[in-house]
Amino acid sequence: MATPENTYLYYATVRSVPTDNNASTHNQVRAKGPSFTVSPTAKGKGDRNLKSSSEVPQQKTVDLQGARYWDTHTHVDQILKRHSLPLSGYDTFKATNFPPGFAGCVSVCCEIEAIEPTIELIDSQPDIVAAFGIHPHNASTYTDEVENRLISLMSHPKTVAWGEIGLDYHYDLSDRDVQRRVFERQIECAVRARKPIVVHSREAEEDTFTIMKKAMPKDWKVHVHCFTSSGELAQQLMDEFPNLYIGFTGVITFAGALKKVVNTVPVERILLETDGPYMAPIPFRYIYLSNPL
């Protein structure tokens, strides 16, 4: 197995996709015992555009027998905190809540206060690796001192990416000019550190793409996490960055338009993530916290 410092996307590559026993939720996935078929949709088209059986895309079959998976984006420290558990309670929590197929996760630290807890987790748990960065919500806290701390963390053997970083115009918890400046600056730092990048983008499609195209090499490894944007942006990103992958969370179970977007993304460009403790899927939304399940 590749070591964490070699490539974040080794872990992030899709190795299993959750089956969906409700055909109305996603008619492209059909559960079939220990395996299932995924019907990739023609670029930019939905099922309604398929005129005849000869136009139906070839199905891909994924064998789930004994499958192991990585949660490519979660926040373990926040999950434990919301369960009122100490960091040392991870093993017990995992044994109680995670299925046998769980192989590990990328715990994402995106605020200053989470740095030390995340370091403690990756130093003590063999199945947790980390990404470090400053979230756009916290862009106003980004300083030279914080940047130097993040740069130093890139040399940790279990740091696999820089992030999550990006733009969030939905909440605007930091000034937009500050968000854009900090996003670009962190991309530049990640490139110098030779680390893949985890991107957060919400209601900021044009600026997100413009900054990525300006500051990021075309062949860079990127995880655009918890994707909630348009199919047009997804295609634009995949066309521009051949090593870019798109992460989907439980949002696809309650955001109707997003289900159509999923159908336009090739399965080999999809990453699976919980974004726990956030983005729990229906029917667990507002009832349970999202875990690396």
The pLDDT of residue 285 is 81
Q: How confident is the model at residue 202 (pLDDT cuts 50, 70, 90)?
A: very high
> What was the pLDDT predicted at 178?
98
The pLDDT value given to residue 284: 82
- What pLDDT band is residue 61 in, cutting at 50, 70 and 90? low
- pLDDT band (50, 70, 90) for residue 153: very high
pLDDT in tens, 172-185: 999 999 999 999 99
DSSP-assigned letter for residue 280:
P
Q: What is the Cα–Cα distance from 52 to 36, expressed in whole angstroms?
A: 23
The HSE-up count of residue 196 (CA atoms within 13 Å, CB side) is 27
Helix/strand/coil (H/E/C) assignment for every residue in 7-38: CHHHHHCCCCCCCCCCCCCCCCEEEECCEEEE
Split at pLDDT 50, 70, 90, the class of 289 is: low
pLDDT of residue 181: 98
Give me the chain's average pLDDT, please.
82
Residues 97-137 pLDDT 10s = 998 899 999 999 999 999 999 999 999 999 999 999 999 99
Report, as an integer, the average pLDDT of 73-93. 97
201: how many CB neighbours lie within 10 A of its CB?
27
Q: How many residues are there in the chain?
A: 293
Task: Return the DSSP state at 267.
Answer: G
pLDDT exceeds cutoff 60 at 19: no
φ and ψ at 230, to 5 degrees? Answer: -80, 160
Q: What is the pLDDT of residue 42?
A: 31
Which two three-digit tokens encode residue 244? 């870019």
Cα 267-269-270 angle, rounded to 5 deg: 65
Pick the residue with more confidence: 26 or 111? 111
Would you state the pLDDT for residue 256? 86
pLDDT of residue 269: 97
Residue 200 has pLDDT above 80, yes or no: yes
The token pair at 39 is 């019907």
Least confident of 57-71, 192-206, 243-257: 57-71
* Confidence check: pLDDT of 13 > 60: no
Per-residue pLDDT at 230: 94
Widest CA span in the chain = 60
pLDDT tens profile 231-285: 999 999 999 999 999 999 999 999 889 999 999 999 999 999 999 999 989 888 8
Percent of the chain with pLDDT over 70: 76
Of residues 70 and 51, which shows the higher confidence score?
70
pLDDT of residue 63: 64
pTM of the model: 0.80
CA–CA distance from 170 to each of 68, 200, 207 (Å)? 35, 12, 13
Please report which confidence band the pLDDT of residue 293 belongs to, taking 50, 70 and 90 as the band edges: low
